[in-house]
Amino acid sequence: MISKRTGIRLVAVLSLIVLCVYLAFIGKEHRVFFDNRVKTIDGVKYKSEYTYEVAVLGTGEEPEFVDLDDMTMIEAVGPKHVIEISVMDLDGEPLYEISRNVSMGFKTDCVLYLPLIVDTHMGEKD
Amino acid sequence: MLTKEKVKSFLVNQAVPILFLIIVAVGAPLSGFSLQHLTQEMTYRLARDSFVVLSLLVPIMAGMGLNFGIVLGSMAGQIGLIFITDWGIRGIPGLFIAAVLGTPIAILLGFMCGSILNKARGKEMVTSYILGFFVNGLYQFFGLFMLGPIIPITKPSMLISRGYGVRNTVDLLGVRGAIDKLIDLKIGGVSIPVATFLLIAAFCFFIVWIRKTKLGQDIRAAGQDYELARLSGIAVDRTRIISIIISTVLACYGQIILLQNLGTVNTYSSHEMTGVFAIAALLVGGATVAKASLMNVFVGVLLFHMMFVISPMAGKRLIGSAQLGEYFRVFVSYGVICIALIFHAMKERARAQKHREELMIGESSLNHGGEAR
Amino acid sequence: MKNFLKKLVESAGWARIIIGLFLLLLFIIAPFVQVRLDTSIQDVLVRVGMNGVLVLAMVPMIRSGCGLNFGLPVGIIAGLLGALVAVEMNLTGLTAIFTAILISLPIAVLLGFSYAQIINRVKGSEMMIATYIGFSSVALMCIGWMILPFSHPTMVWGFTGQGLRTTISVADAFQDVISNILSFQIGDFFYFPTGMLIFFGLACYFVHLFFKSKTGIAMTAVGKNPSFARSSSVNIDRMRTLSVIFSTALGAIGIIIYQQSFGFIQLYMGPFFMAFPAIAAVLLGGASLKNATITHVIVGTFLFQGVITMAPSVINSMMQSDLSEIIRIILSNGMIIYALTRKEVYKR
């Protein structure tokens, strides 16, 4: 049988590993891409009709402007992000705002396709 | 009481730090750096470099001299940092994971180093010195040919242009200053990285605590007299290996702390200089090959790095060439190790000689006693 | 047959046999990976000639019990000074070489003497201290190279800085002067540096003769059996000093030979690590910390330079990558560690 000493050491090592996994989860950096380009997904053609101002809360960065047929990227650290999207018409006047929670975990990149989000208020692509 | 003997003995024993104090006292005003700048610089350097120097203390206690093998620990720490940078884990979590990654590597390397040093008893310092180069070669092979193809690196930005192998410089943007800025105190315009100092203090306590444990006693006994310790039943060889492992692991953490302050890793050269500077700093602080205290560590880091910082500018002001100042500080770094080693060797010989003489006097008095009729 | 093999292994030692076989293997593979055999042999021969005397410089100090001469840079510096003076005086050809040697020798004696004073006071820790004496001297000379009053146009920086250049070409002065003596060329790819090899051979012979002389025997005794030497009224410290001076002088000559083949005088940090390949070579040849013979030097230089030359070129051709530096580091340092950790087997 495993001695008590080995048992304790095993538990210690395992808890260390679990701790590290948790820390990696917390500390992982992610790149959130905001894509506003003209694209065809699953045979459906999407246009880029609005411009947006996007921000990820908690990163302390200024909101980024996404023009027609453009994309931008914001870096963030942590397991969850709150994303604020402000949809604007072509004159730059804000129309309405959408707020999303994104949970990313161990993934590094995430791409949000803006026209789809506006269309369905649900669309999200990884 | 301050006798003339005591003062003289103090001056001789502490010759190196005193010399350095003079160099610094003369050079600092020459360099033209402001007091504010120097204080800030020294605060950062103390926080950054003290830990690695601390890792030198245990092998000295064990009688193994200056452990040039701390570069092995540095390499382990760097490997850890390379991985967390690749996986994109930032801040304290990143550094913690880097330390966790580096620890088993450091233990392994320390074990190997300790075993080899045991085989080369009496020549530990040269052996650890060469071993440092040898493992450096292995490390370079690892970094240039295995990281990438065999051990996957997910971020192509970290690879060399040919497609495999890690780049020469790796940015640690993600973890830069992570510990330093955790608790940042500003006194009189000088930023003090409190968290780092707390970490250093913690390990100072650790070292003091170790001395009191059975292991610590064993280490010191092994350091005093190898044969005597062995005869008293201590597993001396094993104790020596353990002390090298402790040293290597501490150097691993020390390198991580150092690099999080610098913010950049020179993948293939950061660790080399770490070893030489740490040893030079310790010696400048008044430590010898046989004895080193916590005081030596901090005084040494302060004086050595002060000299390091002011040399180029002082050289420029004094002789007109900053390059000369740089060569001067390289010379001083190696020269101080050289002189400290020479002094130590001479003292050792004098001690052994005196010991022998005492034995002979003892014998002859015995003879006299025997022959006296 | 089995007895013969067993004796061979015992006298040669596993390390040398393994490396020897490895070298043979490299030579065999070479043609199959587009590496020209004749160029390779030429390269190895040239490098043996270049480094030979530097390896020879290890012998006196090992035999007198001072350990491996990690302070070889001291001798190298003497040789560098000699070479610099020769170039400064605008000499060429054999005159240049001989003047360089002539000038460097007294410097080597002086430096060697000072070096020996320290070595004699630190018996037991010679190697470590020698290393740092070497390093400190190189660092000190870095300052020296910047301020010494040389003025030859090929040697000093122009308008951009002061002091001597980092590398100084000797192409005009004395490149290959010794190598070319009696040399011959076979086809486009094979050049045999007879002169240099003859020089190396003569140097070896000279050292060999020295150690057969009374002084030489006394020196060896000091290393092998100090109490016996003392009881035969040999002044141990004086013998050690002599051996250090001898090693330093050989180092000075060695670097001059090296430079005439290499084509450049390397100053500043160039000599910093130069002791290590020489040490690795002599150890590879079978020398230990207390014993070194001419055979060790010749065999060791050949094996070491052979592997250092062949392994990178063959492996580079096979794998399209640059491993040469790493192989050099691993091999040379590995050899030194092997020697440092060997238990001394006392042969009667």
Region B103-129 average pLDDT:
89
Which domains, and CATH codes, for chain A? 29-125 (2.60.40.10)
The string of pLDDT tens digits covering residues B19-32 is 788 878 887 787 77
**How far away is chain B from the Cα of A107, in angstroms, using its nearest Cα?**
10
Q: What is the pTM of this model?
A: 0.83
Which domains, and CATH codes, for chain B? 13-160+171-372 (1.10.3470)
The string of pLDDT tens digits covering residues A51-106 is 777 777 776 677 777 777 777 777 777 777 777 777 777 776 777 777 777 777 67
In terms of residues, how long is chain C? 348
What does pLDDT average to over chain B? 83
Q: Which residues contact B324 (CB under 8 A, 6 or more apart)?
A: B315, C143, C146, C147
A118: Cα within 13 Å, side-chain hemisphere: 23
Of the candidates C62, C41, C45, C180, the one whose C-alpha atom is nearest the C-alpha of residue C130 is C62
CA-nearest residue to B174 within chain A is A29
The string of pLDDT tens digits covering residues C217-227 is 999 989 888 88
DSSP string, C88-124: HTT--HHHHHHHHHHHHHHHHHHHHHHHHHHHHHSTT
For B167, other C-beta atoms within 10 Å of its C-beta total: 17
Instruction: With beta carbons under 8 A apart, name residues in chain B contacting C329.
Output: 133-134, 136-137, 140
Q: Is C286:C3 a contact under the CB 8 Å cutoff?
A: no
What tokens were used for C102?
A: 């002539």
Q: Output the pLDDT for position B75.
A: 93
What tokens were used for B205?
A: 């306590």
Count of A–B CB contacts within 8 Å?
33
Q: Which residue has the tokens 């027609």?
A: A68
Which is more confidently placed, A69 or C236? C236
The CA distance from B122 to C263, in Å, is 41
The CA distance from B206 to B198, in Å, is 12
A45, pLDDT greater than 80:
no
What tokens were used for B77?
A: 């720490």
C189, pLDDT greater than 70:
no
Please check whether residue C345 lies inside any domain of the structure.
no
Cross-chain Cβ contact B94/A27 below 8 Å: yes
Neighbours of C (≥3 Cβ pairs closer than 8 A)? B
Please check whether residue C279 lies inside any domain of the structure.
yes
Of the candidates C279, C236, C281, C255, the one whose C-alpha atom is nearest the C-alpha of residue C174 is C255
CATH of the domain at C155: 1.10.3470
Q: How many domains does chain C have?
A: 1
For C62, other C-beta atoms within 10 Å of its C-beta total: 26
Name the residue range of residue C69's domain. Answer: 13-183+191-340
Region C190-214 average pLDDT:
88
- Burial label for B268, CB within 10 Å (0-12, 13-18, 19+), is middle
Q: Is A77:A28 a contact under the CB 8 Å cutoff?
A: yes
Which is more confidently placed, B173 or C200? C200
SS3 B34: coil
The string of pLDDT tens digits covering residues B40-87 is 888 888 888 899 999 999 999 888 888 998 999 999 999 998 888 888
C touches B, CB cut-off 8 Å, minimum 3 pairs: yes
Nearest CB to C340; choose among B120, B345, B346: B120
Instruction: With beta carbons under 8 A apart, name residues in chain B contacting A12.
Output: none
Of the candidates C334, C299, C329, the one whose C-alpha atom is nearest the C-alpha of residue C312 is C329
Q: Output the pLDDT for position B126.
A: 84
Q: Is C251:C79 a contact under the CB 8 Å cutoff?
A: yes
Cross-chain Cβ contact B141/C326 below 8 Å: yes
The CA distance from B266 to B356, in Å, is 50
Please check whether residue C8 lies inside any domain of the structure.
no
Cross-chain Cβ contact C340/B341 below 8 Å: no
